[in-house]
Structure 1
Amino acid sequence: MADLFDTPGGPEAPAKGRPLADRLRPAALDQVIGQDHILGPDAPLGVMLDSDTLGSLIFWGPPGVGKTTIARLLAGETDMHFVQISAIFTGVQDLKKVFEAARIRRQNGQGTLLFVDEIHRFNKAQQDGFLPHMEDGTILLVGATTENPSFELNAALMSRSQVLVLQRLELKDLERLAQRAEQELDLALPLDGPAREALLEMADGDGRALLNLIEQVSGWKVDAPLGPDALATRLMRRAAQYDKSGEHHYNLISALHKSVRGSDPDAALYWFARMLEGGEDPRYLARRITRMAVEDIGLADPNAQAVCLQSWETYERLGSPEGELALAQALTYLALAPKSNAAYVAYKAARQAAKKTGSMMPPKHILNAPTGMMKDQGYGAGYAYDHDAEDGFSGQNYFPDGMQRPVLYAPVERGFERDLKKRLDYFVKLRAKRDS
């Protein structure tokens, strides 16, 4: 496995023969754009370098935000040999060669900063293989991942590393990068103001993607600056980052659910659209939307579940893309519906109570007595038939004998549950009257 300190083409490759993203690779940490929260003087990496206490690191962040560049610069700052590998293309034998070379280097007085791209792609055994070499100082590991390390990396590896979160680049960061590109190319991009902003948005927070777009735009021969429409016809927007089985999936469904719970239809529709644009299965969204009706609206609006089920059925009949509109309508209905989780809370409390008292028998007066022996045992004795009561309510106890009566369902003063609360209070008063 070759050490990859130099970029493809070697250090002597002419600038014009190298991609723009490579030509603009920062030569020092203070040239890195958009990651001041980890590189500033009082930020984690700044403090480590100042105190000469750099340890193993895990860089977690989206593509194109500088993970590889920062790792390379850290090696330079600490006079360590930089080795870059990818978990996708590296096998066990390759790793053994990397560790052996690092061991020899250490014997000769030089440390090795091993940068592992896509480190989450290594399985548990491969991740464990790094531990002894980290502990004895053979390597200083810097791993990079776009996935949540809490889910993808071993606890042992995590405990020996510090996780640093790199952020997607904001528009102001991308604008600084665009200005650097114009200086390097010695030309101004042939775009008007709105088109320039549209170009930055196309990059979706990815600096490498922006430089690739700029490299295309800079070669265009036009008579006048292009507007947003002309730009859109010449360039394809970068696909949004979305993984239907990864953390982005769960982040977006969480945002969608909480937007509905927070009665914000605009935000709910936005996250719904984000998931659809990312390729999410509308049937998954239909199921989750129905769950929102059950969990967060409940009996405050009993019609909410019916609306969801009808929209789900409409989607099944119409298919995509027309059927998504029915789901969007249901989502809007839920966002504006009165909210209550009273039934949800009551259900969970009932499950807990059932676990604690799971062996207690029902009171005998509400048990059927189909045999003479059961009658002799008192089954059904004293049962009060509610329809015979003047107000249709007997007030008898239906919990196990000896169990203190719990209060599980507490309806809110919103929507239809306001009426249910009145009924519940009425029965509480009647029960108290019967007991007295």
Structure 2
Amino acid sequence: MARRGCRPGDRPTERLELTDLFAASGLEKAAPRPLADELRPGQLSDIVGQPHLLGPEGRLTRMLKGERIGSLILWGPPGTGKTTLARLLAHHVRLEFVQISAIFSGVADLKKVFDTARGARSVGRGTLLFVDEIHRFNRAQQDAFLPVVEDGTITLVGATTENPSFELNSALLSRAQVLVFHPLEDAALETLLTRAEGVRGPLPVAPDARASLIRMADGDGRAILTLAEEVYRVAEEGEVLSAEEVQAILQRRAPAYDKDRDGHYNLISALHKSVRGSDPDAALYYLMRMIAGGEDPMYLARRLVRMAAEDIGLADPHALTLAIAARDTYEFLGTPEGELALAEITVYLALAPKSNALYKAFNKARRFVAETPSLNPPKIILNAPTKLMRSEGYGAGYEYDHDVPGGVSGQNYFPEGLEPQRFYEPTERGKEASLRARMDELSRVRRQRRDKGGPDES
């Protein structure tokens, strides 16, 4: 029989009637529940792994001294307690808790929630609206929150795994404080395992397998409890599983890496900076993190080619050639054999002498061209295939550099009326040390020609 409390459009408190009756009957205790839900914290002090927020001097601890909170954005990886915190905050500050997901909700759903919140407010009850995956709302949907947050109809608590600076409207961010959640450290994950043993009994694993579970959880509290639950499910009575057995049973948990979002940009930045900083071991670590996370190896190959040009340049002219060769090798061999070529060039680039002199020269020349008139090259270096052009002075006085001593005439190649520039300033590192000496010698030859007043200087 349909219950009135379940009808679409009813107030959140009415929709909970059936759940409340179910709980009051005692049947809920007999229903199967995931271990992570069974161990969900019942008070703020039970949340682990976020002492910077909930410790004695934590940011949120200080906020709650007045037992009132403003709107919040909870930013952090999965399984770090964002949803649990939102529920407990609502109870702590005596607000009605309403939860929606940005994946399944649209503007019409938001309007219903706002109308219900206005009704609750008219009888003196406030509403904490928890929006999971808030970054999934588009800009127009995010704008819908602004008036109800501003007038106090709702206290908004949004959860996101993505950088709010990029994913949320600045107007919405200006009305909320951002709380950053950290991945759970090993000690916090161990605490969760201990709590699991308090309700399910000793975890049937050897010490090395326990440590392996913690590593596989990758800082995710929900994951460690899900992994533990699977161990309880498969272990036979009296059996103690080794690390190898646990890994074989559980397979391998996918790394916390989304190649389309924040993790992607963080790790490629870390790889690039490790190469630039000449740390081959750190560079290899980030390379393998991205490969293990499912990154397209050709994307990595392209980035390594860029590093060769941008951060090594002419300090090691072979670096660019070898980076392209590594890309071609991967394209030829594919996965997994071709990945070794990417590892090889990563180590080579990290150990190569570094110079961004060419990169700086490129940018300097580009700015100079943008800021100066489009002058014609000097006539002395222009070809004169016709009599008219010869009569106009095209090519007059040009010296063929191969015919002069040293192979450098020193004549001017910049447009007339434009002071010759020096964009490229080689460093003293690697091959550029000899290039600097060569540049200095060429400058000396050109200076001598100017001092003598050669034909192109008239």
**Does structure 1 residue 318 correspond to structure 2 residue 327?**
no
Report SS of the residue matched to 2:135. Answer: helix
**Does structure 1 residue 368 correspond to structure 2 residue 383?**
yes
Report SS of the residue matched to 2:252. Answer: coil
CA distance change for structure 1 residues 303 and 10 in 2, over 3 Å: closer, same or farther? farther
Q: What TM-score comes out, normalization by structure 1 length?
A: 0.94
* Structure 1 counterpart of 2:243: 228
Report SS of the residue matched to 2:424. Answer: coil
Report how many residues are paired.
435
Given that 1:3 and 1:84 are in contact with CA atoms closer than 8 Å, whether structure 2 keeps it comes out as no
* Structure 1 counterpart of 2:12: 3
- Once residues 21 and 15 of structure 1 are traced to their aligned partners in structure 2, the CA distance between those partners, rounded to angstroms, is 16
CA distance change for structure 1 residues 197 and 422 in 2, over 3 Å: closer, same or farther? same
One-letter code of the match for 1:48? M
Instruction: Between 21-30 and 365-374, report the one with greater CA deviation.
Output: 365-374
2:148 to 133, 136, 156: 133
Q: How do 1:269-308 and structure 2 match up within 5 A?
A: 269-308=284-323
Report SS of the residue matched to 1:433. Answer: helix
* Structure 2 counterpart of 1:386: 401
2:231 to 211, 217, 235: 217
**Does structure 1 residue 98 correspond to structure 2 residue 107?**
no
1:352 to 367, 378, 400: 367
**Does structure 1 residue 208 correspond to structure 2 residue 240?**
no
- Once residues 323 and 358 of structure 1 are traced to their aligned partners in structure 2, the CA distance between those partners, rounded to angstroms, is 48
* Structure 1 counterpart of 2:455: none
Instruction: Between 410-419 and 211-220, report the one with greater CA deviation.
Output: 211-220
Q: CA deviation at 1:24?
A: 1.5
One-letter code of the match for 1:193? P
One-letter code of the match for 1:159? S
- Once residues 22 and 400 of structure 1 are traced to their aligned partners in structure 2, the CA distance between those partners, rounded to angstroms, is 75
Given that 1:117 and 1:143 are in contact with CA atoms closer than 8 Å, whether structure 2 keeps it comes out as yes
**Does structure 1 residue 191 correspond to structure 2 residue 200?**
no
- Once residues 302 and 10 of structure 1 are traced to their aligned partners in structure 2, the CA distance between those partners, rounded to angstroms, is 72
* Structure 1 counterpart of 2:38: 23
* Structure 1 counterpart of 2:179: 164
Q: CA deviation at 1:145?
A: 0.8
Given that 2:39 and 2:196 are in contact with CA atoms closer than 8 Å, whether structure 1 keeps it comes out as yes
Report SS of the residue matched to 1:391. Answer: helix
- Once residues 196 and 271 of structure 2 are traced to their aligned partners in structure 1, the CA distance between those partners, rounded to angstroms, is 37
CA distance change for structure 1 residues 409 and 195 in 2, over 3 Å: closer, same or farther? same
1:429 to 429, 444, 450: 444
- Once residues 52 and 192 of structure 1 are traced to their aligned partners in structure 2, the CA distance between those partners, rounded to angstroms, is 45
Report SS of the residue matched to 1:17. Answer: coil
Instruction: Between 3-12 and 332-341, report the one with greater CA deviation.
Output: 3-12
One-letter code of the match for 1:197? A
- Once residues 412 and 15 of structure 1 are traced to their aligned partners in structure 2, the CA distance between those partners, rounded to angstroms, is 73
**Does structure 1 residue 246 correspond to structure 2 residue 255?**
no
CA distance change for structure 1 residues 108 and 424 in 2, over 3 Å: closer, same or farther? same
Report SS of the residue matched to 2:448. Answer: helix
Q: CA deviation at 1:14?
A: 0.9
**Does structure 1 residue 47 correspond to structure 2 residue 56?**
no
Q: For residues 3-56 of structure 1, what are the alpha-carbon distances to aligned partners after superposition, in whole Å with 9 as ceiling and x for unaligned?
A: 399789747421773222122111221221011112234333222211445111
- Once residues 3 and 18 of structure 1 are traced to their aligned partners in structure 2, the CA distance between those partners, rounded to angstroms, is 23
Q: CA deviation at 1:112?
A: 0.3
CA distance change for structure 1 residues 27 and 15 in 2, over 3 Å: closer, same or farther? farther
Q: What TM-score comes out, normalization by structure 2 length?
A: 0.89
Given that 2:67 and 2:92 are in contact with CA atoms closer than 8 Å, whether structure 1 keeps it comes out as no
Given that 1:387 and 1:393 are in contact with CA atoms closer than 8 Å, whether structure 2 keeps it comes out as yes
Report SS of the residue matched to 1:83. Answer: strand
One-letter code of the match for 1:38? L
* Structure 1 counterpart of 2:454: none
- Once residues 66 and 141 of structure 1 are traced to their aligned partners in structure 2, the CA distance between those partners, rounded to angstroms, is 17
* Structure 2 counterpart of 1:402: 417
- Once residues 373 and 130 of structure 2 are traced to their aligned partners in structure 1, the CA distance between those partners, rounded to angstroms, is 55
Instruction: Between 405-414 and 80-89, report the one with greater CA deviation.
Output: 405-414
2:157 to 109, 119, 142: 142
Q: CA deviation at 1:59?
A: 0.8
Cα RMSD of the aligned pairs, angstroms, is 2.1
Report SS of the residue matched to 1:250. Answer: helix
One-letter code of the match for 1:108? V
Q: CA deviation at 1:400?
A: 2.6
Q: For residues 404-435 of structure 1, what are the alpha-carbon distances to aligned partners after superposition, in whole Å with 9 as ceiling and x for unaligned?
A: 33321111112211211121111122222223
One-letter code of the match for 2:12? D
Q: CA deviation at 1:113?
A: 0.3
Given that 2:133 and 2:161 are in contact with CA atoms closer than 8 Å, whether structure 1 keeps it comes out as yes
CA distance change for structure 1 residues 10 and 122 in 2, over 3 Å: closer, same or farther? farther
Given that 1:385 and 1:394 are in contact with CA atoms closer than 8 Å, whether structure 2 keeps it comes out as yes
CA distance change for structure 1 residues 210 and 15 in 2, over 3 Å: closer, same or farther? farther
One-letter code of the match for 1:407? R
- Once residues 38 and 254 of structure 1 are traced to their aligned partners in structure 2, the CA distance between those partners, rounded to angstroms, is 27
- Once residues 121 and 258 of structure 1 are traced to their aligned partners in structure 2, the CA distance between those partners, rounded to angstroms, is 30
- Once residues 347 and 331 of structure 2 are traced to their aligned partners in structure 1, the CA distance between those partners, rounded to angstroms, is 19
Q: CA deviation at 1:370?
A: 3.7
Given that 1:260 and 1:335 are in contact with CA atoms closer than 8 Å, whether structure 2 keeps it comes out as yes
One-letter code of the match for 2:422? V
Instruction: Between 258-267 and 132-141, report the one with greater CA deviation.
Output: 258-267
Uncovered stretches (5+) of structure 1, i.e. residues with no partner: none
